Chain A
Amino acid sequence: MLELFLDKYNYWIVVVLMMIGLYIVIARGNLVKKIVGLNVFQTSVFMFYISLGKAEGGTAPILTGKPELFSNPLPHVLILTAIVVGIATTALGLALVVRIRESYDTIEEDELEGMDNAVVTTERARLGTGDAA
């Protein structure tokens, strides 16, 4: 049991962190908070990737001329790309939040839905009278 824990504890903690991030995204109604949650979720996924590239007793994958044991550089490369993609998504998401705030004057999901549903109701009402006429 202890051995299983020592073998896997890193992955398990990272999984829990991922879950917290994902929970923030889907449970919180504030649009900025959702983006923060997305960041936490993605950063945890990055840790998961990097964890699987770790070599016990290894060093950073930079050649020094001596024969050495390196940690796996490929996940590092993939995650560098993923970090960049993540910041790009954050920037765009926040820009959308700013625009939403400007046109709705709120960034709470339930209030936004309420306002949109009100529009739908009035549209339907208008269409209803259109039918009668």
Chain B
Amino acid sequence: MIAVDHLPVLQVVGPLIAAPICSLLRARNLAWFFTLLVSIGAFLCSIYLLNTVLETGPISYAIGGWAAPLGIEYRVDASNGFVLLIISGISSVVLPFAKRSFELEVPENQHSLLYTAYILCLTGLLGITATADAFNVFVFLEVSSLSTYVLVAAGAKQDRRALTAAYNYLILGTIGATFFVIGVGLLYMATGTLNMADLAARVGPIGGSRTLDVGFAFIVIGLALKLALFPLHNWLPNAYTYAPSAVTAFLAATATKAAVYLLLRFCFTIFGSGSGFLAPMVGLVCMPLALAGMFAGSLAAIYQYNLKRMLAYSSVAQIGYMVLGISFLSITGLMATTLHLFNHALMKGALFMALGCVFFRVRSVNINDLSGIARQMPWTMAAFVISGLSLIGVPLTVGFISKWYLISAALEQEAWVLIALILASSLLAVIYIWRVIEVAYLKDPIPGRTVTEAPLSMLLPTWALVIANIYFGVDASLTTRVARMAAEGLVGVAQ
């Protein structure tokens, strides 16, 4: 029973210990199975943690036995408990899918290293989410980033552009992380502490310090690079396009989510009360960028012939929605962002996995090669269409819930223009999803090509996410309850 008390840290340390063990496993099936077990373990752990947090409130864990500001603290509350659940859950769904996908797309003798990098990436993402220490965030951010570069570069067997994509991601990611470090340094200089709760308590009384303002700005820019906020999104389309299918599905559904969570944490928990800088920074800078990202991303998506790239640009647009939710600076806006974190993970995970199924059979995700594919791969394309509808925001899917809360937040502030813009950008999503439907369903199959439905091991995980898209779209009571608690928790600590 003692083990239960240690779950906050075991959630992260479990995968951290598993990674070196995985590198020792030479048989690739064994490495895959081991990775799957680890991921499911982390998922179960996150379910337990979130459940406990919802019932009894935040859990704090002092690593090394040193109490909070001295040592590094792990602190799980509704908001990061939710993000832990998203990351480990998506990972557990993607892994069964990943096996066949990696067998096709990555050279055989590299699989145990590949799964090791995958576990490290999972470790890093869980670590940055669970920690309550600003510098510890950086360390685990780099664990996840370095392994992500490797995972992206693993697409090089299919297309050498994966290498340049990984390199550019490495350069921009490192600049982002260094900006984050500068920001943390400035905060430390002004407050003398690195613990988030302690920072929040000490930032308040200082107020109006230029050091703090600049520190905050650097942290926001660093995170904006990591979460690919327009116009700092340049690394994302190539990275998502040329990474192996399973990696894209995993990253698109988790990596940017963790960065958005960090942005929430810094904006609201730490700077919520203290700096007079928050409101102008968010209102004048983040909101226009979010809107620009929504339109630039969707418009760029319409013109792509490579569908993975199309969805990557769509992710840029979706990140715009998340940041827009933040920029309302209200509980409803925060709920919209938190809900969209979860919902977007479901829909993008499903969409990228459906494309992964297509690639597995067709060896291409260019739109013309998909002519009439729906007749040959009906289940895959049905999954694509349903999650596409969710992306657009059609009722009875999770996408609708996100849009609903986003529009409610705009309504509260009577921002009619914003509502019009949100609806208009959803129409752009209709266009690029319809392009795919038109080609896949209405055109004739390419003559002479015999393509069969994707294997069950890939189809079932895809459909698991599709069903989640519908289930949480019909009954959003659980997710909205968590999102409300998360939003209140994020703001509440600061007040």
Contacts and interface: CB of A to CB of B under 8 A. Distances in A.
Contact of A89 (B142, B160, B366): B142
Interface string A105-129: 0000000100010010001100100
Interface in B232-258: none
Contacts of B188: 52, 74-75
Contacts of B160: 103-104
Interface residues of A, number: 36
Contacts of A97: 167
B465 interface: no
Contacts of A119: 161
B171 A25 contact: yes
Interface in B138-161: 138-139, 142, 146, 149-150, 153, 156, 160-161
Contacts, number: 81
A72 to B, nearest CB: 9
Nearest to B367: A127
Interface stretch (B14-22, B174-182, B331-339, B384-392): B174-182
Given A82-B181, A127-B367, A96 B161 contact: no
B185 A45 contact: yes
B: interface residue count bin:
20 to 34
A21 to B, nearest CB: 9
| B contact patch SS | helix
Contacts of A124: 305
Nearest to A88: B146
Contacts of A30: none
Nearest to B160: A103
Given A81-B139, A89-B142, A127-B367, A49 B185 contact: yes
B146 A89 contact: yes
A78 interface: yes
Contacts of A131: 368
Given A81-B139, A88-B142, A130-B368, A100 B171 contact: no
A31 B167 contact: yes
Contact of A48 (B153, B161, B185): B185
Contacts of B485: none
Interface of B: 135, 138-139, 142, 146, 149-150, 153, 156, 160-161, 163-164, 166-167, 170-171, 174-175, 178, 181-182, 185, 188-189, 305, 366-368
26 contacts: A18-B182, A22-B175, A25-B171, A34-B171, A38-B171, A41-B178, A42-B174, A48-B182, A48-B185, A52-B185, A85-B139, A89-B142, A89-B146, A89-B170, A99-B153, A100-B164, A103-B160, A104-B160, A104-B164, A116-B161, A116-B164, A123-B305, A123-B366, A127-B305, A127-B367, A130-B368
Interface of A: 18, 22, 25, 31, 34, 38, 41-42, 45, 48-49, 52, 74-75, 78, 81-82, 85, 88-89, 92-93, 96-97, 99-100, 103-104, 112, 116, 119, 123-124, 127, 130-131
Given A93-B171, A99-B156, A104-B164, 4 more contacts: A52-B185, A75-B185, A96-B149, A116-B161
The 8 A-B residue pairs with the shortest CB-CB distance, nearest first, are A130-B368, A103-B160, A96-B167, A127-B368, A85-B142, A100-B163, A52-B189, A49-B185
